[in-house]
Amino acid sequence: MAETKIRWLAHSAFQIITEQGKIIYIDPWIENPLSPLKLDEVKEAAMVLVTHDHFDHVGQAVEIVKKTGALLVANVETARRLKGEFQIPDENVCYFGYGMNIGGNLLYEGITVIMTQAFHSSETGAPCGYIIKLEDGTTIYHAGDTGIFDSMKTFGELYGIDVAMLPVGSVFTMDALQAARASKMISPRLVIPMHYKTFPILLQDGKAFVDMAAREAPGLEVAVMNPGEEIVFKK
């Protein structure tokens, strides 16, 4: 049975360790006030995925790429900005330094990453989400910062999503009700709420989402994680 370790670093930051031991970071703002992981402790990474250029998502992506030699995955304009500002070599940015765009996919070390749309704002290029198909077929959808949209249903149908990471905090993203309906549309085996609690103006706990999910998507498994907690997902 394939096992994937998923660690929530609070906000939208996740560390994924694949069955084969590859480490992926998504939106690694690991210096957020709730994250127990510190940059010094990050020694190894295969890929770093950034959904858009806001500080709470780029976080320490550049530092992690530079210290581990990981591949940075970002949209074309964000990739260009980060490359230019921080002198990241082309070979450490997806597609030979170009970055990618919505609908495109990337195969890297046996892992497929598909860039999806997200409805939000960004100073460089369009914000996005990612569908990540690991070596063993385990499929994870990280929605980025977004409101709800109907294509989430199509993502579920096309890719057979096992784990969905959805923002629930409101103000800048979906609230609990929209995220609960999104869960129903995506129909994953497990949903992990994210993008809450970190700022005082956001929803402060996962309870509202659990309640809404019970109503909108009865039977759906929800993992409300503590910052730094790791779960093992078995495919």
Q: How far is the CB of 54 from Zn ion (least distance, A)?
A: 5
Could you tell me whether strands 23-26 and 139-142 are parallel, antiparallel, or unpaired per DSSP bridges? Answer: unpaired
Site map for Zn ion, 136-165, x if CB under 5 A? ---------x--------------------
Per rule CB under 5 A, is residue 19 in the interface with Zn ion?
no
Residue closer to Zn ion (CB basis): 22 or 54 = 54
Distance of CA 31 to the CA centre of its chain: 16
Residue closer to Zn ion (CB basis): 145 or 162 = 145
Distance CA 235, CA 189 (A): 10
Residue closer to Zn ion (CB basis): 31 or 56 = 56
Distance of CA 77 to the CA centre of its chain: 19
Distance CA 135, CA 128 (A): 22
3 state SS of 132: strand
Per rule CB under 5 A, is residue 53 in the interface with Zn ion?
no
Q: How far is the CB of 146 from Zn ion (least distance, A)?
A: 10
Per rule CB under 5 A, is residue 56 in the interface with Zn ion?
yes
Segment interacting with Zn ion (CB under 5 A) among 51-59, 71-79, 85-93, 103-111: 51-59
User: Applying CB under 5 A, what is the total number of residues that bind Zn ion?
Assistant: 2
> CA of 118: how far to CAs of 28, 63, 109, 130, 141, in Å?
18, 25, 26, 9, 12
Q: How far is the CB of 202 from Zn ion (least distance, A)?
A: 9
Segment interacting with Zn ion (CB under 5 A) among 30-38, 54-62, 174-182, 217-225: 54-62
Q: Token pair for residue 152?
A: 């989430």
Distance CA 160, CA 180 (A): 18
Residue numbers of the site for Zn ion (CB under 5 A)?
A: 56, 145
